[in-house]
């Protein structure tokens, strides 16, 4: 997408832009390239303010943007479209998903960071872009806590669930994912992490770059195609070199099981289709499943599972009962 010229950007911020110009600027800063450029400009201004240097005349004044956004929030009922568009330029998060609303206020650039939280319900998935250009895909039943603005020395979020991160490279500002008792630190990379609070296991699969995960006592360094399985109860981890491509297939609406125990299969299907399972025969837990399916209905998947193992699935309201 073509970058808007500085005059157009300035007209948007000065409330002199046409609706078409405002939409153009919003689309640009919502792109990965535009978000990264905006983050770079803000970082440069912050550095100049800290060192007392003079602001260049050509710079985009993020502090002025902040004031206009705050003014737009106060005048919420009568703000114009240009201000509505300007209000999406600075927030740390630009939501690309549909149907999930974030009831939050826009934070300042230089004030103490405030945190907001987003939850993706069961049966849904979404994608988002952070201010620095980092992209995140969130799987169903996932909660992400994030700052209204990233700090100058660190970019930190907190995850409960499953997400795929494509992190913009910035050696001066490591990207940290908190996992409740453990954390992953990266500089610029692409990786999938599954860390639901209701499971003791954390699974990290690395596609590119490098990441390290630590729990305060142990540290694990991952290279591309490495997978880490970590048990939060025992604080033990196992690092394997495997084909990691299957770990993030859920981003393409693909469910993939590879020698997966029934308990994990049911947990995954419960999140994807927002249903509850009840197992009446414990022998069912002895079975493991290998299956890949794309955009299939729950009925179709259960039918496939019945072909693999001698099980019966019976629906009772919102619960599916599993017997032998």
Residue-wise pLDDT tens digits, 124-171: 888 888 878 888 999 999 999 988 777 777 889 999 999 999 998 888
> Structure tokens of 254?
């693909």
Task: HSE, CB side, 13 Å, CA atoms: give it for residue 142.
Answer: 24
Question: Which domains does the chain show, CATH number per domain?
Answer: 6-86 (no CATH), 93-246 (2.60.120.1440), 253-323 (3.55.50.30)
Instruction: State pLDDT tens for residues 258-303.
Output: 889 999 999 999 999 999 999 999 999 999 999 898 888 999 999 9
pLDDT of residue 38: 63
Q: Is the pLDDT of residue 311 over 80?
A: yes
pLDDT of residue 74: 39
pLDDT of residue 133: 81
The structure's pTM equals 0.64
> How far is Cα 142 from Cα 165, in angstroms, rounded to an integer?
14
pLDDT of residue 287: 93
Instruction: State pLDDT tens for residues 192-247.
Output: 999 999 889 999 999 999 999 999 889 999 999 999 999 999 999 999 998 888 88
């Amino acid at each position: 997408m073509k970058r808007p010229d500085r005059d157009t950007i300035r007209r948007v911020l000065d409330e002199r832009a046409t609706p078409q110009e405002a939409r153009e600027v919003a689309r640009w800063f919502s792109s990965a390239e535009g978000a990264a450029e905006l983050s770079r400009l803000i970082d440069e201004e912050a550095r100049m303010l800290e060192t007392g240097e003079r602001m260049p005349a050509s710079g985009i004044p993020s502090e002025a943007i902040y004031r206009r956004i705050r003014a737009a929030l106060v005048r919420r009922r009568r703000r114009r479209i240009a201000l509505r568009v300007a209000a999406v330029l600075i927030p740390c998060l630009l939501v690309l998903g549909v149907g999930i609303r974030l009831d939050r206020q826009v934070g300042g650039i230089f004030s103490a960071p405030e945190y907001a939280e987003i939850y993706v319900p069961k049966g849904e998935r979404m994608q988002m872009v952070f201010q620095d250009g980092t992209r995140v895909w969130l799987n169903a039943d996932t909660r992400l806590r994030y700052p209204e603005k990233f700090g100058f020395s660190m970019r930190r979020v907190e995850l409960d669930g499953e997400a795929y991160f494509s992190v913009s490279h910035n050696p001066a500002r490591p990207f940290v994912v908190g996992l409740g008792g453990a954390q992953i630190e990266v500089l610029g990379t692409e990786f999938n992490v599954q860390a639901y609070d209701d499971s003791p296991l954390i699974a990290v699969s690395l596609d590119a770059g490098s990441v390290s995960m630590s729990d305060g006592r142990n540290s694990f360094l991952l290279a591309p195609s490495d997978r880490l399985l970590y048990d939060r109860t025992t604080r033990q981890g196992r690092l394997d070199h495997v084909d990691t491509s299957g770990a993030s297939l859920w981003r393409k609406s693909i469910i993939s099981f590879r020698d997966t125990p029934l308990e994990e299969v049911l947990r995954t299907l419960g999140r994807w289709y927002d249903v509850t399972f009840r197992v009446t025969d414990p022998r069912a837990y002895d079975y493991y499943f290998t299956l890949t399916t794309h955009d299939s209905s729950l009925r179709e998947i259960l039918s496939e599972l019945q072909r693999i193992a001698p099980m019966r699935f019976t629906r009772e309201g919102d619960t599916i009962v599993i017997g032998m």
